[in-house]
Structure 1
Amino acid sequence: MANSTTTVLDVDWAVDWLRRSAAVVAENRMALIELDRAIGDGDHGENMDRGFSAIVEKLDSEPPATPGAAFKLAAMTLMSKVGGAAGPLYGTAFLRAATAVGDVPELDSAAVAAALAAARDGVVARGKAEVGDKTMIDAWTPAVDAAAEAAAAGSRPAAVLSAAATAAEAGAASTDPLVAHKGRASYLGERAIGHRDPGAVSSALILRAAALAAGADA
């Protein structure tokens, strides 16, 4: 695990992030299922758990050499193992992040922020959602903005990721009063009001896992 004073993050951080993501998704599997059952088809928690469990299996058998390779492994696994919207959306996010960082062995704060931005842009390209549509973008966009601001201010990677995670958590909470404009939840109209978007919640969980892997305080 990295620590809060680390100025660059390597493949050990990326692998730890993915493993922590798998653990937190498994821990929150039923909560994500319940959230999705209220406004979707109820499979988000199951799909995410299956996908990230498969990532851990791949990490054990095919350990990556760089952060970008870890992100690509995650992307390919999610796209092949996860059904519904989550697989393509998260898979695209990790694939765009992999492309953004390339094959460098270490990521500084600017590279971390750029990877998050590329991931968010991939989700937007795939899902065509905007802030306010009651989707995972409501977590990702504030996270990207917070990360960019922290990186520009000279913060270390752990602080950049912590800022992103905190913004994502607030963004997920902000979906409660929204009417959905994308996905199955959009069919509910005002009946979706009062329910939190499961994709925004899982995004916040995964971004917090990234911060913890970097050594940020919980």
Structure 2
Amino acid sequence: MGNPTLDVTWAVEWLRKSAAVVAENRMALIELDRVIGDGDHGENLDRGFTAILEKLDAEPPTTPGAAFKLAAMALMSKVGGAAGPLYGTAFLRAATTLGDASELDAPALAAALGAARDGVVARGKAEVGEKTMIDAWTPAVDAAAAAAASGMGPAELLDAAATAAEAGAVSTDPLIARKGRASYLGERAIGHRDPGAASSALILRAAAQAAGVNA
């Protein structure tokens, strides 16, 4: 499916599609977070991705790594709450892993996604099953690694990762939260989707769409 490698055009398109889907789902993410968090997740992410768009227009990146570093800096400087540091660290770790590479094959993408997830874990200290964005990211990373190992191309890998992230987000519905503001709710958090997992699934689906999946 599609090209054997992806370049900066894909990276920029991913960020633009992410900004669009976050804006489109801003109120839905706010509502999810209002039930079990601070109620600011959608607003904060929308502000952060708007800042990313401004930076992309002002200083277009020349490599995928540069695009992700730009995104990281915008998120860390513009977004309050947990979302900015967590997503910022994810993009920064991905950028560091990719370095100056101009073309990304499936193994490089899998490595970048793994580094992004590891950054979130390092910053948030969360594990699978604790009702956080890790419940979306870890299945996505596992699916990406399996796709790369089986010889899939980048677009197929991203599709597999996004599908796994979507299932992972749904899996947070019955969980008791163990991290963040939601952890104070105990069993009252059961039945509500984690907003970070929900936004992670949206953003990872945007990556696949930017590669030409379901576009």
Q: CA deviation at 1:32?
A: 0.1
CA distance in 2, matches of 1:103, 1:71: 11
Instruction: Tell me whether 1:208 sits opposite 2:185 in the alignment.
Output: no
Of 7, 16, 25, the residue aligned with 1:10 is 7
Q: CA deviation at 1:127?
A: 0.2
1:116 is aligned to 113
1:190 is aligned to 187
Give structure 1 regions of 4+ aligned residues with deviation exceeding 2 angstroms: none
- TM-score (norm: length of structure 1): 0.98
Q: Which amino acid aligns with 1:153?
A: S
- TM-score (norm: length of structure 2): 0.99
Q: Which amino acid aligns with 2:112?
A: A
1:158 is aligned to 155
1:107 is aligned to 104
CA distance in 1, matches of 2:56, 2:198: 24
CA distance in 1, matches of 2:27, 2:95: 30
Of 26, 33, 38, the residue aligned with 1:29 is 26
1:81 is aligned to 78
CA distance in 2, matches of 1:161, 1:183: 29
Partner secondary structure for residue 70 of structure 2: helix
Residue ranges of structure 1 left out of the alignment (5+ in a row): none
Q: CA deviation at 1:216?
A: 1.3
Q: Which amino acid aligns with 1:15?
A: V
Partner secondary structure for residue 11 of structure 2: helix
Q: Which amino acid aligns with 2:91?
A: F
Deviations 1:109-150 (A, max 9, x none): 000000000000000000000000000000000000000000
CA distance in 1, matches of 2:173, 2:2: 35
Deviations 1:156-176 (A, max 9, x none): 000000000000000000000
CA distance in 1, matches of 2:29, 2:214: 24
Of 135, 138, 148, the residue aligned with 2:135 is 138
Deviations 1:62-109 (A, max 9, x none): 100100000000000000000000000000000000001101101000
CA distance in 2, matches of 1:14, 1:202: 18
Instruction: Tell me whether 1:148 sits opposite 2:133 in the alignment.
Output: no
1:217 is aligned to 214
Q: CA deviation at 1:5?
A: 1.6
CA distance in 1, matches of 2:101, 2:38: 40
Give the paired residue count: 215
1:59 is aligned to 56
CA distance in 2, matches of 1:204, 1:178: 17
CA distance in 1, matches of 2:156, 2:80: 33
Partner secondary structure for residue 103 of structure 1: coil
CA distance in 2, matches of 1:8, 1:151: 12
2:171 is aligned to 174
Instruction: Tell me whether 1:41 sits opposite 2:22 in the alignment.
Output: no
Q: CA deviation at 1:217?
A: 2.2
Sequence identity (%): 82
CA distance in 1, matches of 2:105, 2:63: 13
Residue ranges of structure 2 left out of the alignment (5+ in a row): none
